[in-house]
Amino acid sequence: MNVAYSMLKRTFELHKREYEAAALRALNSGWYILGKEMETFEKQFARYLGVKHCVALNSGTGALILAFRALGIKEEDEVICPANAYIASVLGITENRGTPIFVDADDYMEIDADAIESKITDKTKAILPVHLYGHSSNMDKIRAIADRHNLYVIEDCAQCHGSTYNGKLTGTFGTIGCFSFYPTKPLGAFGDAGAIVTNNDELAEKVRLLRNYGSKIKYHNEIVGVNSRMDEIQAALLQVGLKYLDEGNKERQRIAEKYLAQITNPLVLPQKTDPKVNHVYHLFPVLVKERDRFQAYLKEYGIGSAVHYPIPSYMAECYKKWGYAWGDFPNACRYAKQEVSLPIYAGMPEEEIDYVIKIVNRFA
């Protein structure tokens, strides 16, 4: 049997007619940028999260860059962030000439909230928790630290649409929440797309200016901006995806529960889940010491897998001037060298789930 790591076409086919109707509606409107479809999605997503503002953008990376820009992060400003996050999170800081201050990961593969306070200096302006794999960071502790030190909190929610911490949705704890709608995400577009969410009127208005060349009225450029706009087709398609976001999350949670109950191989260790978190399993990460051999074994039996992320940001070639070593952040290093993501997605056939479990349990 062949089991693809991910098969977006199957997820699309669950609601194919609605997606096709939405795309045609946008095409037939004759208006393709900054139109009614985008405005409708912004209102719907803000309502889903229970926030005042959603500003639709061209990508999750764009959302991070503009969030830090709107907050005035600049050269010599420091932003505390996890050592094991994908480089896009760090790019949001460095594109604004800020300095990332890394904190090691905790046992849940999230930023270690207990290690944040020791990294705060008089240059620290913000904390960037990155909710990885569909699991929230410890937002009660992070929010309390930020309040004590008068720091911004920018949440990177690229992988956790619909996840909660203590019953509160991720993206709603911080000054700004940043979302990616890359096709593989829990709420995925059919191309690049992203958004920021906030309850701050001034910040929302500033990001709206920034995304459109710094302009509300054509040729009247109030500030220096960029082009970071979500197109109308993606906005229309995301409206369909949002309708089924909770349903898709529940389906991945069901698959994850089956994996957790039936994968009993002591060589394959699943991510731990904080009992305060509603994990939506954007990914299903496991830790395997002999990762290369494990992936080759899965491939031999027709099972696809992926790694998130083999080179942590602090070891990226483009940031080598910082002079970090692998062992500077032991947990982040271990996760980078041992993490493997197993197949999990809405629309995955039951026989494929059972096959993955059987083959994983046979690994020796």
Q: For each of the chain's 364 residues, which pLDDT tens digit applies?
A: 999 999 999 999 999 999 999 999 999 999 999 999 999 999 999 999 999 999 999 999 999 999 999 999 999 999 999 999 999 999 999 999 999 999 999 999 999 999 999 999 999 999 999 999 999 999 999 999 999 999 999 999 999 999 999 999 999 999 999 999 999 999 999 999 999 999 999 999 999 999 999 998 888 999 999 999 999 999 999 999 999 999 999 999 999 999 999 999 999 999 999 999 999 999 999 999 999 999 999 999 999 999 999 999 999 999 999 999 999 999 999 999 999 999 999 999 999 999 999 999 999 9
CA atoms within 13 A on the CB side of 158: 24
List all residues 6 or more positions away from 267 whose beta carbon is below 8 Å from its beta carbon: 288, 289, 290, 294, 363, 364
Give me the pLDDT at residue 229, please. Answer: 97
Give me the pLDDT at residue 309, please. Answer: 96
Pairing, β 124-127 against β 78-82:
parallel
Give me the pLDDT at residue 8, please. Answer: 95
**Helices and strands (H, E) in the chain, number of each type:** 12, 15
Burial class (CB in 10 A: 0-12, 13-18, 19+), 262: middle
In this structure, the dihedral spanned by the alpha carbons of residues 87, 92, 98 and 104, taken in order and rounded to 10 degrees, is -40
The residues that bridge with 342 in the sheet, in sequence order, are 284
Pairing, β 176-180 against β 152-156:
parallel
Look-up: residue for tokens 């993501």?
341
List all residues 6 or more positions away from 50 whose beta carbon is below 8 Å from its beta carbon: 169, 172
The residues that bridge with 197 in the sheet, in sequence order, are 54, 177
Element housing 81 (H / E): strand 78-82
Task: Give the residue from 173, 235, 161, 197 showing the smallest Cα distance to 70.
Answer: 197
Give me the pLDDT at residue 147, please. Answer: 98
Give me the pLDDT at residue 176, please. Answer: 98
Helix-, strand-, coil-residue percentages of the chain, each rounded to 5:
45, 20, 40
Q: Which domains does the chain have, with CATH numbers?
A: 8-243 (3.40.640.10), 245-362 (3.90.1150.10)
For 236-291, give the DSSP string: HHHHHHHHTHHHHHHHHHHHHHHHHHH---TTSEEPP--TTEE---SSEEEE-TTH
- Is 151:125 a contact under the CB 8 Å cutoff? yes
Give me the pLDDT at residue 201, please. Answer: 98
Give me the sign of the Cα torsion angle 308, 341, 60, 148: negative
Pairing, β 152-156 against β 124-127:
parallel
pTM for this predicted structure: 0.96
Look-up: residue for tokens 């932003």?
79
